Amino acid sequence: MSTAGKGQPQVPEEGQWFDLLPAEKKLIGWSLGLGVVLLGVLVWMSYYVIPIPH
């Protein structure tokens, strides 16, 4: 767990790169999609449901 206490400090070592997994693609897609849809909903709400007195 610790990065210390073993004499020599650890350094980052990257594993071998692999292309995006289907689960990662889904995470990116769902996250972005949900974000854009919710953004649209919130913009609509900000103008029509909780408007700020400009």
Partner 1 sequence: MSAKAARPSLFKTEDWWAVWLGLFVFALGLLKLGGMEVIGWAVKTNMWLDISKALSPVSAAYKGMPGIVSLLLTYLFLLVITSIGISVMGGNVSKYALGFTVIFWITYVCWMLGSYAYIAATPDQLKKVGIGWSLHLTGESGFIIALVAGLLLGNFAPGFTKLVSEAVKPEWFIKTAIVILGATIGLKALQSTGLAGQVLFRGFCAIIEAYLIYWPLVYLVARKYFKFTPEWAAPLASGISICGVSAAIATGGAIKARPIVPIIVSSLVIIFAVIELIILPFAAQTWLFHEPMVSGAWMGLAVKTDGAAAASGAMVDALIRGKAATALGVQWQEGWMLMAATTVKVFIDIFIAIWAFILSVIWAYKIDVRPGERVGASIIWERFPKFILGYAATFVIVLLIGSGLSKEGLKLLNAGVGQADAFRGIFFCLTFFTIGLVSNFKKLREEGMGRLALVYLICLFGFIIWIGLGISWVFFHGITPPPVG
Chain residues that interact with partner 1, rule: CB under 8 A: 1-7, 9-18, 20-21, 23-24, 26-29, 31-32, 34-36, 38-39, 42-43, 45-46, 50, 52, 54
Quote the CA–CA distance of 48 and 21 in Å, as a whole number: 40
Structure tokens at 23: 């689960």
CB of 1 to partner 1, least distance (A): 5
Look at the alpha carbons of 33, 38, 41, 44 in this order and tell me if their dihedral is positive or negative: negative
CB of 21 to partner 1, least distance (A): 6
CB of 32 to partner 1, least distance (A): 5
